[in-house]
Amino acid sequence: MEDYKKEFIKFLLNNNALRFGEFTLKSGRKSPYFINTGMFCDGKSVAKLCNFYAAHIVKVLGAEKVDVLFGPAYKGIPLCVATSISLATSFGINKPYAFDRKEAKGHGECSNRKKMIVGHELKNGEKVLILDDVFTTGQTKIDTAELLKDIADVKFAGVLIAVDRMERGNDNENAIKEFEEQTGIRVYSIISVKDIIYYLEKHKKTEEAEKIKKYLEKYGV
């Protein structure tokens, strides 16, 4: 496993953003682990979190393939702002950001939909990277892509999330794969649940690792 993945998992654990136990997900499933990036709620931790996002953009995606960072409300908002800052301060790369006003979502003409976007004014042909914490269902990301397409004829550099849980949706389909096939937009993640299992086994936390393995046997892709 790459060093940055080990560092990211350690960072999640140290900030209680990766927890073990029994957690009821929105889907109703009982999960032996839980990811909560909402634990990063101060300047130091958010800066470090988004430095991982920025590093992934530079080293894996390629910064030249991204024109704009977009953060869907609400959790995506601090991600896109702080990642933009991290790209500038840590890598010397200046990228604009934008996010939507969730409370104003609805149907309407393009001129009204433009008012839903805060920050950079999207332009035709720009390559947009959507930043979020996790990928639960593809529908929310599809809604975001459709909103942006209504505003300008943008292209998509992808979706970047913190952790890929690598599990099926409620319809037993791979939500990420289904989204990629439907939209042509690729989903990237800093780490996956398999990286977490590997890390736990290497650090002699076999009980937690085995519980996650059993969970994936039932719900994994």
Euclidean distance between CA atoms 149 and 63, whole angstroms: 22
- Residue 111's pLDDT is 52
Q: Residues 98, 66: contact at Cβ < 8 Å?
A: no
Angle between helices 175-183 and 138-151 (to 10 degrees): 20
Decide: pTM greater than 0.85: yes
Complete domains list, the chain, with CATH: 3-219 (3.40.50.2020)
pLDDT at site 87: 98
User: Which stretches of 15-155 are DSSP H helices?
Assistant: 43-56, 76-91, 110-114, 138-151
Q: Which positions are annotated as active-site residues?
A: 105, 107
- Residue 36, classed as helix, strand or coil, is coil
Q: For the chain, 221 residues long, give each residue's pLDDT as a single digit of tens.
A: 889 999 999 999 999 999 999 999 877 889 999 999 889 999 999 999 999 999 999 999 999 999 999 999 988 999 999 999 999 999 999 999 999 987 655 555 445 677 789 999 999 999 999 999 888 777 889 999 999 999 999 999 999 999 999 988 767 788 899 899 999 999 999 999 999 999 999 999 999 999 999 999 999 98
pLDDT number for residue 172 = 77
The reported pLDDT for the residue numbered 109 is 44
Q: For the segment 171-195, what is each residue's pLDDT rounded down to a tens digit?
A: 778 889 989 999 999 999 999 999 9
